[in-house]
Amino acid sequence: MGCVGDDSADMNIFKWLLIAVLALILLAVMAGQLGLLRGAQPGDLGVRDGKLKRPSLTPNSVSSQADLWPDHPRRDAARIAPLALRGDGPATIARLKTLVEAMPGAVVVESRADYLYAQFTTRLMKYTDDVEFWFDPAAGVVQVRSASRVGRKDFDVNRQRVELVRARLQAS
C-alpha cells in the first residue's frame, strides 16, 4: 500500500512528462514550418549515361533502375516498375507533368520533352521528396526515381506516390 503522497507525486511526474512530450512535438512542428526539415536539393539529379541517380542507401527511396546497381545493399527493396508509355515519350512526360502539378504539395522544378523533375513537400512538417521521370527511348518506358531528402524511413510514401501516379497515368 502506498500513501496518498505517492499518488500525488506520480501524478506530478505524469503531468511533467506530458508537458515535455507536448513541447517536443510543438518544437518539431515549428522546425518543420520554418523549413528546417526540408533538406538540401541534391546536386546530382538528372540523367547521366542513361541512368537516374541511384537509390538511397536508406529505406526511403524507390527506383525503376535499381537493378543497374547490382552491388546496392537495398536494390531489392528499392525496386519499382517503370511507367508504361501513354502515346510516345514526350506525350507521356507531358501527361505526367499535368498529373504531378495537380497533386498536393507538388512543384515542377524542371520539365523537358524527355524529363520531369518535381519536388513534393508535406504540409505540416515540410519534408521534401525529389521525384524524377525520364523517358528511356532504349527501353520504351518512363524510368522513375522518388526519394526523401532527410530521415531513414518514409513509411512507403515514395512507393505509394509512384503507384498513385502510375494509376492516374493509366486512367488518363
Q: How many structural domains is the chain composed of?
A: 1
**Residue 61 confidence (pLDDT):** 96
Confirm whether 62 is domain-assigned.
Answer: yes
Whole-number mean pLDDT of the chain? 90
In a domain, 11, yes or no: no
* 20 found inside a domain: no
76 burial (CB, 10 Å; 0-12 / 13-18 / 19+) is: exposed
Report the CATH number that the domain containing residue 143 is assigned in CATH: 3.30.310.80
pLDDT over 70 (residue 32): no
Question: Quick check: is 9 in a domain?
Answer: no
Please answer whether residues 147 and 159 qualify as being in contact, where contact means their C-beta atoms are separated by less than 8 angstroms.
no
More confident residue, 20 or 161: 161
Q: Is residue 157 part of a domain?
A: yes
21 part of a folded domain: no
Q: Give the pLDDT confidence of 33-70 residue by residue, as tens digits.
A: 666 667 899 999 999 999 999 999 999 999 999 999 99
The DSSP line for 20-66 is: HHHHHHHHHHHHHHTTTTS-PPPSS-S-BTTBPPPPPSSSSEEETTG
pLDDT confidence band for 9 (50 / 70 / 90): confident
158 is a domain residue: yes
Higher pLDDT, 124 or 21: 21
- What whole-number percentage of the chain has pLDDT above 70? 91
- Which residue range is the domain that position 152 belongs to? 35-171
Q: Phi/psi of residue 171, each to 5°?
A: -80, -15
Interatomic CA distance for residues 86 and 123, integer angstroms: 31
Evaluate whether 121 touches 109 at the Cβ level (below 8 Å). no
Residue 2 lies in a domain: no
